[in-house]
Amino acid sequence: MATPQTVIRPEYDEPLEQAPSSWRAILEIVQALALAVVISVVLNLFVVQVTEVRQRSMEDTLHQNDRVLVSKLDYRFGAPQRGDIVVFNPPIDSSIPYVKRVVALGGETIDLRNGHVFVNDRPIEFPETRGLQTQPQAPRITYPFRVPEGDIFVLGDNRTQSSDSRTFGSVPVTNIIGKVILRFWPPDRLVFFAW
């Protein structure tokens, strides 16, 4: 007849060992997600953001519902340049940012004559521009118009369908959210812009 043996149990049972391991795994996942959220927020606030084009004013360069990547770093290290496509908060009451092309810089004089754009008496055109004529839009903006220092003058590429500086005047550089560097949606129209 066998005698009962004393069973020596380890300090912990196997199920107890698995429980802390499960919690550790969950904690690691939560930490990784929190870090991803923080990185995403920091990138969105200071580096790049995704913006949906909501107007038709930049056709054919950008179409309504296109998605673009906007660099927020460019103008922290340099000034806007003529030809840049920028996203900005317009100096009018609007709940959405605008996307336009920089045509004139602070200190420059812009004129609209015979449907053409002149900056400092030189004709300025971009191959992407649509519309036969670039006409004034608001009587309060008179031409020639001198762009104040620290401002930019913007126009949409689709000149006949664009509400731009011809309507609301120049835009303070401080209103710029960033520079469009990439159109990534729809995928068949993927294009990098000058960066």
Q: Which residues are catalytic?
A: 57, 100
3 state SS of 47: coil
3 state SS of 156: coil
Tell how many helices (H) and how many strands (E) occur in the chain. 3, 12
Strands (E), the chain: 48-52, 67-71, 85-88, 98-105, 109-113, 116-119, 122-123, 145-146, 151-155, 171-172, 176-185, 191-192
Please name the residue that has the structure tokens 């000149």. Answer: 159
Q: How many CA atoms lie within 13 A of 149 on its CB side?
A: 0
